[in-house]
Amino acid sequence: MRTLLLLALLPLGVNAQDINPSKGDFDLGDYQLESNNKAFYYVFQQSTSTYSDLTNADFTLNGAWDDPEITVETPFGTDYLGVQTDSMQMGLGSMMVGLNYSNGDALILSPVTADLIDLDGLGGGTGQSPISYKVEGTSPNRIFKMEWKNAGFYIEGDYAGALTSSANIQLWLYEDETVEFHFGPSNLSTELVDSLLVNDELVSVATEIDFITEAFLNSHFITGNPSAAALSDSYGSLTAWPANGTVYTLGKSGIGFDEQTQPLLVELYPNPATSELRVRCEDGKSFTVELIDLSGQVVRRGTINATDAMSLNGISSGLYLTKITDVKTGEIVTRRLVVK
């Protein structure tokens, strides 16, 4: 059944009755968008990559499942959407809900919100659709990968009484805060895709969420034709199931997501800024600073050091990404900057 199992522990001030997303009373479409959604935290990029099943997983759930209770400790202690979570819980479909128990902050990361089920889930068989996850790489470039393999769709079983369609999906969380949705081979009928669309189960989203006020904050909806999707701060969904090899990336750099950033000892100030931008760094250090708007365009470039500033005259108010490059070593770091 369509149940979102969120909490073993609840944030302070949050009661279990406030979060009761059982079948029929948890619908993302019922949530309101806050008015501050215009400044995207992430920049969107779509690409194609060969889909590979997870191997040598750290955890695998075998056997027939329907709404399994899977809790994942936050793998890197990394913020996503600026929210520091203590753990993540698997919910509807490939939805992961991250929670901060001390302050009640929460976020949702979901390749799609289709209600997934094991292909043996209706009859409680031996299971055909394992769920697994693993952490790959070494710090600071680790990746948490979670896979729903050959998963069926509850809505098909509910309407047709049998599960014949399947899909493969992965959620990747990078240590540098990048989020990726990977889509593998699928077998979905036109009728099933139409049902998913009508029932708001093709929502691909990364958003903060307030379960008490039922509001989205800092929302990133991937919408439209899945072969040429767009990022929107308004509630919306894909219009079809993404093709095998489709990758949706939400990254903090507007200049390409393959770039490995380094932990430079540098700080931009003031932030928010008005007329000029300065840098705190070691004496003798010099940096090239590129100011990037949320469409990925470089709107200002300059070189600054501990004593020289970069003018912001003519720069429109808003949220920007800054690419900071050490002139001597070529090391790079990105930072967010608000211009007033």
CA distances for 202 relative to 69, 111, 113, 216, 237, angstroms: 22, 9, 6, 17, 5
Mean pLDDT of 191-218: 87
Above 90 in pLDDT, residue 69? no
Is residue 172 domain-shared with residue 298, that is, in the same domain? no
236 with 230: CB under 8 angstroms? no
Query: What pLDDT sits at residue 39?
Result: 59
- 130 and 184 co-located in one domain: yes
Domain co-membership, 201 together with 300: no
CA–CA dist 151, 328 (Å, integer): 50
Within this chain, do residues 56 and 157 fall inside the same structural domain, yes or no? Answer: yes
**pLDDT beyond 80 at 260:** no
CA distance 334 to 263: 9
Confidence of residue 132 (pLDDT cuts 50, 70, 90): very high
231 in the same domain as 177 = yes
* Three-class DSSP category at 247: strand
> Do the domain assignments include residue 257?
no
* 178: in domain: yes
Return the percentage of the chain with pLDDT > 70, whole number: 84
**CATH number of domain containing 300:** 2.60.40
Average pLDDT over residues 38-43: 73
* Domain end (from 252, 281, 298): 252
Residue 194's H or E segment, with its range, is: helix 190-198
272: containing domain: 267-339
Judge whether 153 and 170 are in contact, CB under 8 Å.
no
Average of pLDDT values for 9-15? 34
The predicted structure's pLDDT at residue 239: 93
Global confidence as pTM: 0.69
Query: Cα–Cα distance between 163 and 151 in angstroms, integer?
Result: 10
Domain count, the chain: 2
Dihedral through CA 290, CA 291, CA 294, CA 296, nearest 10? -30
Distance CA 61, CA 59 (A): 7
The residue with greater pLDDT, 267 or 270, is 270
For the chain, give the mean pLDDT. 80
Q: Are residues 229 and 287 in the same domain?
A: no
Instruction: Give me the mean pLDDT over the 218-245 stretch.
Output: 90
- Whether residue 97 is predicted with pLDDT greater than 50 in this model: the reply is yes
Q: Is the predicted pLDDT of residue 242 greater than 80, yes or no?
A: yes
The pLDDT of 229-236, averaged and rounded, is 86
Indicate the pLDDT class of residue 259, thresholds 50, 70 and 90: very low
Closest CA to 129 of 206, 187, 174: 187
Confidence label for 57 from pLDDT (cuts 50, 70 and 90): very high
Higher-pLDDT residue of 252 and 130 is: 130
Return the closest-CA partner of residue 234 out of 249, 248, 242, 223.
223
- Based on the fold, state whether residues 14 and 132 are members of the same structural domain: yes
Give, for 193, the enclosing helix (H) or strand (E): helix 190-198
CA–CA separation, 54 and 172 (whole Å)? 11
124-to-70, 93, 117, 118, 260 alpha-carbon distances in Å: 18, 18, 11, 9, 45
Give residue 136's identity as a one-letter amino acid code: E
Where is the domain boundary, 203, 220, 252? 252
Highest mean pLDDT among 40-49, 74-83, 235-244: 235-244
User: Residue 19's pLDDT is what?
Assistant: 37
